[in-house]
Amino acid sequence: MSLSAFGLNCTLKSCDAPSSTQKMLDAVLAALARHDVRTDSARVADFDVRPGVTADEGDGDQWPQLRRRIMEAQILVLATPIWMGHPSSLAQRVLERLDAVLGEIDDDGVYPTFGKVAIAAVVGNEDGAHFVHSQLYQGLADVGFTLPAGSPPYWVGEAMGSTDFKDLDTIPDKVDETIRTIASNAAHLARLLAERPYPKPER
């Protein structure tokens, strides 16, 4: 069964500026590709994503372009750096804009995102990776995504240090192992959900 994954890089850096978050996202997407998953990604900073909680805020809002790619894929990879102990402001905005999904639940209680799998990936030079993951996963689950089993991938450098994830020559073994595991589980779960969608809630 053909699957696709779409990655959103929530770095604050736009265009092709070196990004540790992009390196982490690329590693997760490469691991998914080994399971016959087609992959693509975008940087949220390169788009004019307006504040709001609707699917389209109008007046040049470019969120609809990203939302369409999210909805076309079976797997979403949401990658963010840690900023002051929290997800980046762009990651938070993605969650806020995904809130529109709650207004699109059909009469049977089925979300348009049911059957889609989400992975969160985090990088930073300070503590807080588990807290950031908990915020992202709670929001993604609330709007209907299914989360694969396993520890989500992250890398955290020395507190107040100067080495970024993008500066590493190789990905640490434990991080690589976590990426491979979550990618395998995500692809497996997405295929299962595609073959056997969630049933409509009983009345």
Structure tokens at 201: 């809630």
pLDDT of amino acid 125: 82
pLDDT of amino acid 114: 97
Q: What does pLDDT average to over the chain?
A: 95
pLDDT of amino acid 65: 97
pLDDT of amino acid 203: 75
User: Is beta strand 117-124 parallel, antiparallel or unpaired with respect to 154-156?
Assistant: parallel
- Residue 101 clears pLDDT 90, i.e. is over it: yes
Structure tokens at 20: 């540790």
The CA distance from 143 to 9, in Å, is 19
Angle at 112 between CA 145 and CA 98, to 5 degrees: 60
Total Cβ atoms within 10 A of residue 196 = 9
pLDDT of amino acid 97: 98
pLDDT of amino acid 127: 81
